[in-house]
Amino acid sequence: MATVEELLRRGVERLRESGSESPRLDAELLLGHAIGVDRTVIVAHPEAPVGADAATHFDDGISRRATGEPVAYIRGFKEFFGLAFATDRRALIPRPETERLVELAAAEIMRRLTSAPRPPSSPPLRIADVGTGSGTIAISVAVACRRRQIYDEIEILATDDSAETLDLARENAVGHGVADRVRFVEADLLPPVIAEPFDLVLANLPYVRSDAIEHLPIAASFEPRAALDGGADGLAVVGRLLGRLEDSLAPGGLTLIEIGADQGEAVVELVSRELPGWSCTVELDLAGHPRVARVQRS
């Protein structure tokens, strides 16, 4: 019977030969998944024996990863903002960088709900998550609001143009117990008719330049191209959303849009052209790179 250390050594060697960017981490995650334990257990007990079924499951996972398939698709889930989200080829894999957008959104919601007294009859804060994918942003925001006991003060509309992707998002919403607060609608960016404007719009839209997609790590080739391709300059879809904000964002409303690390100046210029008189500032991520555009309606 092989041990954890022996299986890891074999798996790491194969993944390194196949060109994995993180062979040790990949192998640890896949072995933990095969055994049914957290990665920390794998790291802490290299001498532990591994049963034949788990070893076979691990080898299968290594074979899939060696072809370039993302670990998140092999495991069937991805950790994001302290939560686990079901993940498969219907949607883009959640990235750690997007957690910055969720942090900013949660802080903005708290500010709006606590900066001044709210009469008991005040309507909920209206929030839109545009291009929701697997629902990570909308669901993470809802869970954060529940923890802060402001759950009943918000309502979230999450949109995507793919019915299959929305099915995955609904599964995640049910799994995290927020399906009563997040409503999912199939739409191109936003519904064509909006009864009431939104106080806060959140968006992680495609922002990779079309000519850069082929140079991404091979794992990206397993993800929906439409969730990555942002057009010639990477901001084509973002620009279309900006064109909808005049009719969909309430006075004083805020839009938070994830952008690429090299798009800070470009998005500010784009907002100034598309929405004269509106303000746009850029928030940095933990690495100090431009990551979230704050588009404020005066």
> Would you list the domain boundaries of the chain?
4-68, 89-296
Per-residue pLDDT, 116: 81
Q: What is the pLDDT of residues 54-78, one digit of tens each?
A: 999 999 999 999 999 999 999 999 9
The stretches of 95-207 forming alpha helices (DSSP H) are 99-114, 136-147, 163-175
Strand pairing category for 290-296 and 279-284: antiparallel
Per-residue pLDDT, 245: 97
Per CATH, 4-68 and 89-296 having the same topology is answered no
Query: Angle formed by the axes of helices 4-18 and 52-66, to 10°?
Result: 10
Q: What is the pLDDT of residues 276-292, one digit of tens each?
A: 999 999 999 999 999 99
Domain 89-296 top-level CATH class: alpha beta
The predicted model gives 38-44 an average pLDDT of 95
> Is pLDDT above 90 for 115?
no
At 153, the pLDDT band (50, 70, 90 cuts) reads very high
At 117, the pLDDT band (50, 70, 90 cuts) reads confident
Q: Helix (H) and strand (E) counts for the chain? A: 10, 9
At 79, the pLDDT band (50, 70, 90 cuts) reads very high
Query: Angle formed by the axes of helices 136-147 and 99-114, to 10°?
Result: 40
Query: Percent of the chain beyond pLDDT 70?
Result: 100
At 121, the pLDDT band (50, 70, 90 cuts) reads confident
Average pLDDT, the chain: 96
> Is pLDDT above 90 for 157?
yes
Per-residue pLDDT, 193: 87
Per-residue pLDDT, 18: 94
Q: Pull the structure tokens for residue 47.
A: 């001498």
Rounded CA separation 164/161 (Å) = 9
Per-residue pLDDT, 225: 96
| CATH superfamily assigned to domain 4-68 | Ubiquitin-associated (UBA) domain (1.10.8.10)
